[in-house]
Chain A
Amino acid sequence: MSGTLTWPMAVTLDADPAALLAGVRRGDAAAQAEFFERHKDAVARQVMRMTGDASWVDDMVQDVFVAAFAGLSSFRGDASVATWLHRITMNKVRNAWDAHRRRAAREARVAVAEPVDHHPPDEEVAAQQQLAKFYAALGELPPTYRDAFVCRVIEELSLEETSEALGVAVSTVSYRARRAEVLLHEALGLEVGR
């Protein structure tokens, strides 16, 4: 880069996260684009891990970044940007999950039984179906248990990180995650401790 550039953002974006954040806070389009490019894949992966549903990813990523740009002024830098985005994503997915569950409950009341497919599924299809069942069971868990399980088991956050993210005591996190596992085993017809 030339030292004669009058727009310092172009120089500092790649190297300096603080400058990038400052640019995003100012509403600078280039800075926001850079911020988006840096973090979008991590957010997308997190959404996918949490929901298991690829059709949610685009919308959720968009929602997360809209919220992030709107709320960046309140980001104090206590945690890393990645942790902060992780928390926003988790909240967005939790909200979407709740809305989805309410919608699904409404639809279930008027649903007509679908014809059963008698063709034996191949291994990959069976695995996909099993994973879909897993996520369906996860979606049916009480939200507090589900959140603890997702953070601890799927996202592999530490007890302390989960405690901080969910705003509950470490002991509560531990209990909820364990309870979620038991409930999930039951929902999937699996025995715990085998």
Chain B
Amino acid sequence: MTERHPQFEALVDRARRQPAPPLTVTHADVRRASVRRIGWKVAVVSLAAALLLAIAWSSKPVAPREEAPPAAADRVPGSVSMHVIPDLEPVASAELLRLERGATLQRLEPGRPDSPTEGTFVVRTGDQGIALPIRGRVLEVGAASEVFVDDTLTQTTFEVRKGTARWASAAPSRERIPAAATLAARAERAMIAGERVEAIASLRQLVRHHPFSAPAKGALLDLARLEAQMGREARSHCAHALFLARFPRDARAPSVRTAYETSRGEATKCRGLRPMTR
């Protein structure tokens, strides 16, 4: 042991000899505190059990009424029932969600200045796309559906508030992605039928999943045209920009550049198909 300074030794000695003060705490106090502690434990355990039950209940699959569920391989097992859909990347703007009956999507933040105040979802049933308007801030899904969240149409982020939502495929598996030709044909049919919203959704999916395919070139030009027709100059501008970035040596590049340079898009910068507003 270290050789102590006498003053230090005296302090240690004093510390050892300190008398305890008269205790005011009694066994009854200890018992009450014990009961409180047990009460807290019970409360915490009960709360945890209730939460587990709630999670189990909310993730219980509901039999779809209007369509068969997707293949099990496309689901992410154990997904939580509440999802915040991240701000969608332009080339990954189209996201597929599988929603169970009763799920709702809640708009989390207002759309950007160039977005419509009322967005639209394309709810797909099989190969058919049905556009559903957002009423107020909430879209209610009446039946199990794949919801195609397209930020072209909504430009915002959403959160599943209740019900069960599973990513059918956050990055959809190859088996579920239609071929470029299929998407192009789907877009073509929609354009002929005057369904711009669905046409845009298919075109964006085509551009996203088959970015350098031959149909993607035409898809970008169609997108630019359709967006301009819908008054969304900034998005049209970005479609042109993406075309030039991806296909600079294409025969149509000079005319696209002219359109790009003369377009009055609000955005000065784009991230993929998405205009950056600042």
Contact = CB atoms under 8 A, between A and B. Distances in A.
Interface of A: 29, 32-33, 36-37, 40-41, 44-45, 47-49, 52, 54, 57-59, 61-63, 65-66, 69-70, 127, 130-131, 134-135, 153-154, 156, 177-178, 181-182, 184-185, 188, 190-194
Contacts of A70: 34, 37-38
A32 B34 CA distance: 11
Given A58-B23, A66-B34, A131-B11, A154 B5 contact: no
Interface residues of B, number: 29
Interface of B: 1-8, 11-12, 14-16, 18-21, 23-27, 29-31, 33-34, 37-38
Contact of A57 (B1, B16, B21, B26): B21
Contacts of A47: 20
Q: Is the interface of A mostly helix, strand, loop or mixed?
A: helix
Given A49-B16, A52-B15, A57-B23, A184 B8 contact: yes
A62 B31 contact: no
Contacts of B11: 130-131, 134, 188
Q: Is the interface of B mostly helix, strand, loop or mixed?
A: helix
Contacts of A192: 2-5
A12 B7 CA distance: 48
Contacts of B6: 194
A70 B111 CA distance: 55
Contacts of B18: 45, 48-49, 52
A62 B25 contact: yes
B43 to A, nearest CB: 16
B16 to A, nearest CB: 6
A127 B14 contact: yes
11 contacts: A45-B19, A62-B25, A65-B27, A66-B33, A69-B34, A154-B16, A181-B8, A188-B8, A190-B8, A192-B2, A193-B3
A170 to B, nearest CB: 14
A40 B28 CA distance: 13
Contact of B1 (A59, A127, A177, A191): A177
B23 A61 contact: yes
A177 B2 CA distance: 9
Nearest to B20: A44
A48 B20 contact: yes
Given A48-B19, A61-B25, A194-B5, 8 more contacts: A36-B26, A37-B27, A44-B21, A49-B16, A62-B33, A153-B12, A185-B2, A193-B2
A135 B14 CA distance: 11
A131 B33 contact: no
A86 B149 CA distance: 63
Contacts of B20: 41, 44-45, 47-48, 54, 57
B25 to A, nearest CB: 4
